[in-house]
C-alpha cells in the first residue's frame, strides 16, 4: 500500500478520497526538518500546505514520486530539487479563488467604513453613549463616517483566477477596476504596462501575485510614497512582496489610509513585527483562502493529483511537467 504523508492536516474529504483509492494516509507529527525527514522516508507522495519542504527533506524521501501542493503557491517547495530527483510537483489552481476575492472585498469594506475603529470606540465608550445622545452624532463626533466602494478605483496586481473573481465582485459594487499582469494581455479592465503608473491611481490596491524573485520586496518606500494618502492596501497573496517595515512606517506617518495583511515574511510573524502596532491595520492569520468550502476543494484537488499520477494520468496542474517524459 502506497503511503501518502500529509505535512499538516487537510480537509477530511481529501483524506477519505485517498483512503478510498487504496492509499495509506499519515499526518506528520511535525513540520520541522528533522521530523519531516523521518516521516517522508517511505512515502510515495506528500501533500504540503504552507510549511516548508526544503531540499534536504525531499532528498530524504527515498520512495517519493510526487509532491502535491494543497494550494496554488509553490514558494514553500524546492521545485528545482524535486525536478533533479525526478519527482513531480503538482498544485491546485482556482479552488480558493472566490474565497480570497471575498476576503479582499470584506477587508476593503471594513477599512473604508471604519468598522474596526467604530467597534473599539463603542466598547471603550459604552458608559458615555447616553450623554452623547444619538449614535449618528457619536459617529460624527469621532469621524467614523467612512466611504462607499462605489466609484472608487481598485487596482489589482495579478489577474489570474483570484484577480478575475475579484474583478467581478468589485464591479458589482460599482468600482472602477484596473490591473497589472505582465502575463495577461486581454481582460475587460484597463491594464497598465508599468507598475509605477498604477500606484498613484489606486484607492484600493489588492496584491494577488505569487512570491517570486521578481515580486520580492516589489512594494517599498518609493512605491508607497507614490500612492494616495487615503489609499488602502490588501495583501492576501504572500509575505515578502511588500516591505513590512516600510509599510508600517507609511501607515504610522499617515501616508496611507490603512491596510489588511493576511500573509507575512516570515510566517508566523515575529512578536516585534511592526504591522502588529501600525495604524488602521487588519491582521489575519493567512485565512483568506481557507473557508470551509475552499478547504474541501483544495483537499480534494491535492488528493486527486496523487490518484491521477498513480494511475499514469497527468495531474490537472503539474508544475515541473518535464519530468513526465521520464519513466515514473
Sign for the CA dihedral angle at 313, 209, 297, 31 comes to: positive
Q: In the CATH scheme, what architecture does the domain 97-283 have?
A: 3-Layer(aba) Sandwich (3.40)
Q: Which residues are the active-site residues? A: 238, 267, 286
Q: Nearest-CA neighbor of 259 among 293, 239, 241, 282?
A: 282
**Residue 278, phi then psi, degrees to nearest 5:** -75, 155
Which residues, at least 6 apart from 82, have a Cβ–Cβ distance to it below 8 Å?
A: 58, 67, 88, 89, 320
Cβ atoms of residues 53 and 30 within 8 Å: no
Tens digit of each residue's pLDDT, the chain (328 residues): 999 999 999 999 999 999 999 999 999 999 999 999 999 999 999 999 989 999 999 999 999 999 999 998 899 999 999 999 999 999 999 999 999 999 999 999 999 999 999 999 999 999 988 888 789 989 999 999 999 999 999 999 999 999 999 999 999 999 999 999 999 988 889 999 999 999 999 999 999 999 999 999 999 999 999 999 999 999 999 999 999 999 999 999 999 999 999 999 999 999 999 999 999 999 999 999 999 999 999 999 999 999 999 999 999 999 999 999 865 4
CATH class of 3-93+292-325: alpha beta
Q: What is the DSSP letter of 140?
A: H
Q: Where are the alpha helices (DSSP H) in 173-259?
A: 195-198, 221-225, 244-252
Half-sphere exposure (Cβ direction) of 218: Cα atoms closer than 13 Å: 21
Judge if 3-93+292-325 and 97-283 fold alike in CATH terms: yes
pLDDT at 325: 80
Q: What's the pLDDT at 326?
A: 63
Q: Where are the domains of the chain?
A: 3-93+292-325, 97-283
Amino acid at each position: 500500500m502506497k503511503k501518502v504523508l500529509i505535512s499538516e492536516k487537510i480537509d477530511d474529504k481529501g483524506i477519505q478520497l485517498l483512503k478510498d483509492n487504496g492509499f495509506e494516509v499519515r499526518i506528520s507529527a511535525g513540520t520541522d526538518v528533522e521530523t519531516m525527514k523521518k516521516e517522508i522516508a517511505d512515502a510515495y507522495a506528500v501533500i504540503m500546505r504552507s510549511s516548508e519542504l526544503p531540499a534536504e527533506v525531499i532528498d530524504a524521501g527515498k520512495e517519493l514520486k510526487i509532491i502535491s501542493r494543497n494550494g496554488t503557491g509553490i514558494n514553500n517547495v524546492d521545485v528545482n530539487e524535486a525536478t533533479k530527483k525526478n519527482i513531480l510537483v503538482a498544485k491546485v489552481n482556482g479552488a480558493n479563488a472566490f474565497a480570497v476575492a471575498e476576503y479582499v472585498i470584506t477587508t476593503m469594506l471594513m477599512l473604508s467604513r471604519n468598522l474596526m475603529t467604530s467597534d473599539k470606540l463603542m466598547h471603550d465608550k459604552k458608559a458615555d453613549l447616553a450623554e452623547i445622545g444619538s449614535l449618528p452624532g457619536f459617529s460624527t463626533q469621532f469621524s467614523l463616517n467612512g466611504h462607499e466602494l462605489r466609484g472608487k478605483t481598485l487596482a489589482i496586481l495579478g489577474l489570474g483566477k483570484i484577480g478575475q473573481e475579484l474583478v467581478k465582485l468589485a464591479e458589482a459594487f460599482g468600482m472602477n477596476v484596473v490591473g497589472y499582469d505582465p502575463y495577461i494581455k486581454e481582460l475587460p479592465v484597463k491594464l497598465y504596462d508599468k507598475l509605477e503608473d498604477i500606484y498613484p491611481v489606486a484607492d484600493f490596491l489588492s496584491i494577488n501575485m505569487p512570491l517570486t524573485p521578481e515580486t520580492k520586496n516589489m512594494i517599498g518606500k518609493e512605491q508607497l510614497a507614490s500612492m494616495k494618502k487615503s489609499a488602502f492596501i490588501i495583501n492576501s497573496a504572500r509575505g515578502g512582496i511588500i516591505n513590512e517595515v516600510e509599510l508600517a512606517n507609511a501607515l504610522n506617518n499617515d501616508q496611507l489610509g490603512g491596510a489588511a495583511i493576511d500573509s507575512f515574511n516570515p510566517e508566523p510573524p515575529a512578536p516585534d513585527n511592526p504591522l502588529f502596532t501600525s495604524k488602521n491595520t487588519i491582521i489575519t492569520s493567512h485565512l483568506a483562502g481557507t473557508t470551509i468550502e475552499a478547504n474541501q476543494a483544495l483537499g480534494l484537488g491535492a488528493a486527486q493529483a496523487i490518484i491521477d499520477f498513480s494511475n499514469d494520468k497527468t495531474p490537472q496542474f503539474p508544475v515541473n511537467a518535464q519530468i513526465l517524459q521520464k519513466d515514473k
